[in-house]
Amino acid sequence: MSKVFLTGITGFVGKNTARELIKHNHQVIALIRPETPQEKIQEFAESVEFVRIDLCNIPALASYLADNSFDVIMHVGAIRGGKNRSREEYFTVNVKSTEQLMVHCLEKDSRFIFCSSVGVFGGAPLELPATENTPRQNDSYYHFTKIHCESLLQNYVLKGLKAAVVRPSIIYGIGDYGFAYNLTRLVDKGIMFLANRPVLIHLTHVMSVVEAMIKLIKINYISGNSYNVADKNPVYLKELVDFINNRLKGNPYPDWKHVNYRLLLLGEKFFRFLKNELWINRFEFIVKDRHYDISNTIADLSLTQYNTIPDFKIVTDWYKFQRGK
């Protein structure tokens, strides 16, 4: 059993990670914001010790860490892309607090497991599949902060930090109202438009991410290793949309809802000119391929292999349940 300090427990990955840590009999101490309502953490009331400190409050975080020690710090908490936060707050939460946790692990000889993102390769990687040697792209401020943190981590590894990076691709699973739910909703409403060319995407089942985090507590790995986490194979966006529509309505998605690829590229360029990161990402998703090399993840971590089709059915079934409430 390990004593694990976990950030981000109120988020989708953090919550699922906490459940598995408890299932494996680890002692979990979780950092939450002071104003976090009790209902968001109620399921863990008897099994997790909570510390109410905002990641923005670096002095308070440093003071707490100085008086405590852990076997492992799992850092999942961050301000995600699309949030209406200042650059200063982004940097403090996503970078300064991360470095504070690294310093603590280095001083206390603890393992540091950092949940980053394949977004370090940009919304559309410059080579496919994206590998460890693929150029980084700070095409959004969120991606910039993750790139910066990974660079810091490698610097601390040179000083002796025992650390690993987990990079999930776009995550799907039950209980998340993010990408997977919204894609399903758009398909259900018939307002999901596709490019008139094949677009390859790479998603990941949330339990693959959790499994990677849990395994990194105990297994031997080269400090500083980074693991891209994604399903066994990428899928074509059209095939996934057809699958969703079949699960919801019993037939494929209408072919006429395919838009000229060049028009969609113009839309992306327009929002890039406006520097609107949210809409840039939306257009990139439907016009540009994104998939990742997971060979070292499979070799080192031996993760359960999920297939987006048909495993995405957990989302469509949950969506139908939510819709029927």
In percent, the amount of the chain with pLDDT more than 90 equals 85
What whole-number distance in Å separates Cα of residue 110 and Cα of residue 211? 20
Is the pLDDT at 83 greater than 70? The verdict is no
* Cα–Cα distance for residue pair 93/10, rounded to 1 Å: 15
Burial class (CB in 10 A: 0-12, 13-18, 19+), 1: exposed
- Interval 268-276 mean pLDDT: 81
- The confidence score (pLDDT) of residue 230 equals 98
Q: What is the dihedral of CA 225, 230, 231, 235, to 10 degrees?
A: -140
Alpha carbon distances (Å) from 56 to 31, 60, 63, 64, 78: 12, 9, 13, 14, 10
Which residues share a beta bridge with 171?
204
Judged by average pLDDT, the poorest of 19-23, 84-88, 251-255 is 84-88
Region 304-324: mean pLDDT is 95
Give the model confidence (pLDDT) of 187-203 as tens digits. Answer: 999 999 999 999 999 99
Residue with tokens 């095409």: 139
**Boundaries of every domain in the chain:** 3-173+201-232
Q: If 0-12 CB within 10 Å is exposed, 13-18 middle and 19+ buried, where does residue 233 land?
A: middle
The β-bridge partners of 292 are 130
pTM as predicted: 0.94
What does CATH list as the number for 3-173+201-232? 3.40.50.720
